[in-house]
Amino acid sequence: MKIAIMADCHLNQVIYKSVTDQGHPFRTLDFMRAFEYNGNKCLDEIHPDLIVIAGDTYENFDPNNEVRSFLNEWLSKFNKAGIPVIIMVGNHDICKRHYPLQPLHKLDLPKIKIIERPKIMKFKGHRLLLFPYSLDVEQEKVTIKEDFQAFVAKAHEEMEKEELPTFFFGHFGVKGAAMNAYVDESALFGEDDEDGTNTNTTTTEPVYKDFINTNPEDIGLKDLDDIGAEYVFLGDYHRHQVLRTKKCKAMYCGSIEKTDMSERDQGKGFLVYDSEADEDPEMGRCRFVTYPNCRPMLELRGSFADMKAEFAKIDNSKYQGAIVKLAFIGTRDENVTFCTYADEFERELVDKLKAVYIIRTTKTVDKKKEEEASKIEEKIMERGYVRNEDIIEIVEEIIEEQVPDDDEEELKLTKELARWFWDRRTGVEEDVEDNDEEN
């Protein structure tokens, strides 16, 4: 049996929407072309017994008619070819009241099924556990972890009645999974020597670190093992990855096209499970089918001189039609140079790369304070979620920048006031008062 699994198709993607092509935002066309490639791959080469779209078919709950028609045409093709398609609702597909996949129920396409609530199905001697992002979760009637645990308990009852190969399909984030990479900008400045000076050579090569989800409220790797399924296929995180589970083979499909700069080095495509394939130690009987035509993305960082030097090194042929980001990071004097020559540099990028969109960001820095801020940011990113104490640290950094260095009393009082206000805002003070009354 063969199953093709796609996720995070985001067909009406509109990021960088100011540039259009053929009446659509060019990013919408990028994602539609990726879906078309995957669809043709399934029809012409793979010939799967089943296609599963594991959530986020759309970027939001209000796609235009052209995008809806595009999806409907492809579903009609699959239906005509006799290939069943299961489409699971994802968090981007939904709002508090509805989701745009609902009209598909009314089409005369018997091979197409829309899964809006957790469901157990049998297909060709296999048990399929389908866990979409439901309206109950969106409306906060239940947390996704509670919904997951209740569904797994129900699945275990079915497993006890009949032993079948079991596959789980879901759409959610997993504690322990890599989300997207983030930039450790402190690496741009090197480290201070023992005497407090910084003599290291500045590098324009950013150091990327994985942003790992460590939120204890999310479904974890052990939870995936506890399902009892042989394979777990997930949507939601855009990076294709195999998770470090102990019992099952668990993996994210990843999105079908690159969304933004944080995904520029990621491979995109979809998964194929083939029961007749040789067993791979990492992916079992699955393989990743790469989409070769992703939109090129190029990021140049540092001072204007750094950007020019880096651009001179690249192979222009690999970045035709690219989205380019010019991320200036440097002193105020260096920023003057960047602002003076940036327009001319952008014209060069359009001429040599046929760049379709150019993003420009500017960040002037005091290197010492930048390193301190980067440490706070790094702690937050590695933890995977923000605590109240993180907010306080950031606010105190801002206060230190605004209050004169020689006014220690004002600095102290301002910090105390900020902490008091935040405690009141988050309810910490009220909790203390309630506890005192109880005691």
**54 confidence band (pLDDT: 50, 70, 90):** very high
Mean pLDDT for the stretch of residues 406-420: 70
| Predicted local confidence at residue 307, as pLDDT | 95
Residue 260, phi-psi category: left (phi > 0), alpha (psi -120 to 50), beta (remainder): beta
Q: Kindly report which listed range (259-268, 332-341, 424-433) carries the lowest average pLDDT score.
A: 424-433
Query: CA of 359: how far to CAs of 45, 164, 250, 401, in Å?
Result: 38, 51, 36, 28
Q: Is a pLDDT exceeding 70 seen at residue 3?
A: yes
Q: Return the pLDDT at 357.
A: 94
> Within 10 Å of residue 257's Cβ, how many Cβ atoms?
26
pLDDT of res. 187: 47
Instruction: Indicate whether 437 pLDDT > 60.
Output: no
Identify the band that residue 243 occupies on the pLDDT scale cut at 50, 70 and 90: very high
The predicted pLDDT at position 367 comes to: 61
Residues 6+ apart with CB under 8 A from 260: 15, 297
More confident residue, 239 or 101: 239
Angle CA(234)–CA(230)–CA(113) in degrees, nearest 5? 50
As a whole number, mean pLDDT of residues 65-83 equals 93
Q: How far apart are CA 268 and CA 255, in angstroms?
A: 6
Distance (Å, whole) CA 229 – CA 165? 7
395 has pLDDT over 90: no
HSE value, Cβ hemisphere, 13 Å, CA-based, for 247: 12
Contact 245, 418 (CB under 8 A): no
What sign does the dihedral 95-97-103-105 (CA atoms) show? positive
Assess whether pLDDT exceeds 60 at residue 270: yes
Q: Which residues pair with 233 in a beta bridge?
A: 169, 251
The residue among 154 and 401 whose pLDDT is bigger is: 154
Q: Is the pLDDT of residue 438 over 80?
A: no
Q: Across residues 109-118, what is the average pLDDT?
A: 92
pLDDT of 209: 66
Q: Which domains, ranges and CATH numbers included, belong to the chain?
A: 2-177+213-290 (3.60.21.10), 181-212+296-385 (no CATH), 388-438 (no CATH)
pLDDT of 400 reads 62
Q: Is the pLDDT of residue 42 over 80?
A: yes
Amino acid at 426: T
Span 20-33, mean pLDDT?
Answer: 86
What's the pLDDT at 397?
A: 67
Mean pLDDT of 297-326: 95
User: Of residues 310 and 103, which shows the higher confidence score?
Assistant: 310
Give the pLDDT confidence of 190-205 residue by residue, as tens digits.
Answer: 443 333 333 333 344 5
CB distance 92 to 138 below 8 Å: no
- How far apart are the C-alpha atoms of 292 and 420, rounded to whole Å? 54
Instruction: Tell me what pLDDT residue 242 has.
Output: 96
For residues 186 and 370, is the Cβ–Cβ distance under 8 A?
yes
User: How far is it, in rounded angstroms, from Cα 376 to Cα 131?
Assistant: 36
Predicted confidence band at 411 (pLDDT cuts at 50, 70, 90)? low
CB 272 within 8 A of CB 2: yes
Q: For the chain, give the percent of residues with pLDDT over 70.
A: 77
Question: Does the structure show a pLDDT above 50 at 356?
Answer: yes
pLDDT at position 190: 44
pLDDT of residue 412: 74
Residue 340's pLDDT is what? 94
Give the 3-state DSSP-derived string for the chain, with helices as H, strands as E and coil as C.
CEEEEECCCCCCCCCCCCCEECCEEHHHHHHHHHHHHHHHHHHHHHCCCEEEEECCCCCCCCCCHHHHHHHHHHHHHHHHCCCCEEEECCHHHCCCCCCCCHHHHHCCCCCEEEECCCEEEEECCEEEEEECCCHHHHCCCCCHHHHHHHHHHHHHHHHHHCCCCEEEEEECCEECCEEEEEEEHHHHCCCCCCCCCCCCCCCCCCEEEEEECCCCCCEEHHHHHHCCCCEEEEECCCCCEECCCCCCEEEECCCCCCCCHHHCCCCCEEEEEECCCCCECCCECEEEEECCCCCCEEEEEECHHHHHHHHHHCCHHHHCCCEEEEEEEECHHHHHHHHHHHHHHHHHHHHHHCCCEEEEEEEECCHHHHHHHHHHHHHHHHHCCCCHHHHHHHHHHHHHHHCCCCCHHHHHHHHHHHHHHHHHHHCHHHHHHHHHHHC
Q: Average pLDDT, stretch 197-226?
A: 71
b/e map of 307-325 (b: 16 or more CB within 10 Å)? beebbeeeeeeebeebbbb
Do the bridges between strand 126-131 and strand 166-171 make them parallel or antiparallel, or are there none, so unpaired? Answer: parallel
| Dist CA 145 CA 131 (whole Å) | 11
What is the average pLDDT score of the chain? 84
Percentage above 90 pLDDT, the chain: 59
In degrees, to the nearest 5, what angle opens at C-alpha 11 toward C-alphas 102 and 299?
Answer: 150
Which tokens in the block code for residue 132? 């979409």
pLDDT per residue over 124-173, tens digit each? 999 999 999 998 898 889 999 999 999 999 999 999 999 999 999 999 99
Q: What is the pLDDT at residue 268?
A: 97
Cα dihedral 410, 412, 415, 421 sign: negative
